[in-house]
Chain A
Amino acid sequence: MQEALKLVNVSKHYRDFSLNSVNITLPTGCIMGFIGENGAGKTTTIKLILDLIKRDEGSIYVLGKDNLIDLKSVKENIGVVMEDSFFPDNLTAKDVNRILKGIYKTWDEKRFDSYLHQLSIPVNKPVKEYSKGMKMKLSIAAALSHDSKLLILDEPTNGLDPVVRDEILELFLEFIQDESHSVFISSHIISDLEKICDFITFIHKGSIIFSESKDELLEKYGILKCTEKEFGRIDPGAVISCRKNSFGVEALVLKNRVKGNFVIDRAGIEDIMLFYTNRSKERQIH
């Protein structure tokens, strides 16, 4: 199977927000980071993939199968971690094990126990006494303890300290060692995504702005710093958007379209996202 996840022209319309013709392809064996501002449509997209909400247009294929046809059996192979869906408060990790054993055919009790141990999750404490990090780790342990081929993660490291985040990212990297495994992860913590992702998809106001290989993005773009006068000489087609400051101009540019001797710094994924958002705002004003 070539694609772990494929969205084709997916749309969803609400009264004051629309997801417009979203196209995303995640090749098997890769990690895709899904970035965007709050309210851009990340969680809506993920909910559509999991059929938690109904789409208005388009098709979605999860692990090669149409998500409207027998999604229940495909979900055996999907591990999901969402930001605020947790286990009922007074359950313990031991209870969770027994419950999930009765839900997943491929539930691996030994693997779950070893994750609990590895992540220092107490076995007999009720979930309501867990810290936020522990709750997240429990969800992740559950997502990894059955035959998951695709992990779908909605802001799994939000609000966690750097030590725990690192622990969790290590788990994802371990997961992806198997070539048949794929990960789709949305996050605001772009530094995390830069560390582990192969692809980055950027969504803004319900539309996909770009969906490309991370390495290509980092290759393609750069941040140009120059005076206003020098900026006037640059091919406008090379510029995504610019910011004026007291020293001159800062612009996100396509490196290969800038002719001449200019200082072009490395653009990180966050920079690319910010400049693209800036461009969108400029276009709205005009």
Chain B
Amino acid sequence: MKGLILKDFYNLSRQNKVILAAIAFYIVFSVLNKDPALFGGMLTFLMGMQTFSALAYDEKSKWDKYALTMPVSRTDMVLSKYVLSGILLFIAFAANLIFMIIAGTEPMQALTIASSMAGIGLFFIFVMLPVLFRFGVEKGRFIIMLIFLTPSLLALIGSKMGFEMPDESFLRLLPLICVIILVISGIVSVNVSLAVYRKKEM
């Protein structure tokens, strides 16, 4: 699996200049808006999209067909993408945390914000990967847009309809609820991806 992840990093790092430019842009944008969290959000999203790019590169070069002729199992192929995502999101989390502390955010708050963003990023990965494994990058791109548009639309409609804020006890339990949701969605995601990929004909 080490080789697989290394290959992804080589592929992604060749895009170095574009990513560094994007990061520089977001830093500036964030500072101008006096909102350190903005940088974190954009960076997390950027890292999430890197996994998508990694899969796109694989598809373009028909890597999977070749990789499976090597001592690599289908399970390795699937898990390596989760591990890659984990590494990328961790980088985003660390960079975000450091940036916010430097920008003067109180450490505990910074940790909370950075963790929440990493959590959201992880959830995005958990939803995205099974879809991409099943439908490939081209069709998958479209399906993912729909999936992420839906909650945004619902939130928009919800806010227009004037829903009340949930009460305090619910809010206190929220972090625990989120962690539970994350763990469950992670388990479901990995299992669905494995099931899909094992049946795939190359």
Contacts and interface: CB of A to CB of B under 8 A. Distances in A.
Interface of A: 47, 50-54, 72-73, 75-76, 78, 80, 82, 84-91, 95, 98-105, 152
B202 interface: yes
6 pairs of A and B residues whose beta carbons are closest in the complex: A102-B3, A103-B3, A85-B66, A80-B69, A102-B2, A52-B202
Nearest to A76: B71
A88 B63 contact: yes
B68 A50 contact: yes
A72 B71 contact: yes
Most buried by B among A87, A99, A101, A105: A99
Nearest to A49: B69
Nearest to B58: A88
B7 A88 contact: yes
Given A72-B71, A95-B10, A103-B72, A85 B62 contact: yes
A80 B202 CA distance: 15
Given A78-B69, A102-B3, A103-B71, 4 more contacts: A88-B57, A95-B10, A98-B6, A103-B4
A90 B70 contact: no
Nearest to A100: B3
A89 B4 contact: no
B14 interface: yes
A264 B159 CA distance: 90
B152 interface: no
Given A52-B202, A75-B71, A85 B10 contact: no
B150 interface: no
B201 interface: yes
B169 interface: no
A72 B71 CA distance: 5
Interface of B: 1-4, 6-7, 10-11, 14, 57-58, 60-63, 65-66, 68-73, 199, 201-202
A90 B69 contact: no
A76 B68 CA distance: 11
Contacts of B61: 86-89
A62 to B, nearest CB: 11
Nearest to B14: A90
A50 B65 CA distance: 10
Contacts of B65: 52, 82, 85
A167 B66 CA distance: 23
B62 A102 contact: no
B148 to A, nearest CB: 27
A7 B68 CA distance: 20
Given A54-B201, A105-B71, A91 B3 contact: no
Nearest to B15: A90
B109 to A, nearest CB: 40
Contacts of B202: 47, 52-53
Looking at B1, B62, B70, B72, the one whose CB has the most chain A CB atoms below 10 A away is B70
Contacts of A86: 61-62, 66
Nearest to B54: A88
A99 B7 contact: yes
A75 B7 contact: no
A60 B26 CA distance: 55
30 contacts: A50-B68, A52-B65, A52-B68, A52-B202, A53-B201, A53-B202, A54-B201, A72-B72, A75-B69, A75-B72, A80-B66, A80-B70, A82-B65, A84-B62, A85-B63, A85-B65, A86-B62, A88-B63, A90-B10, A90-B14, A91-B10, A91-B11, A99-B6, A99-B7, A99-B10, A102-B4, A103-B2, A103-B3, A104-B71, A152-B69
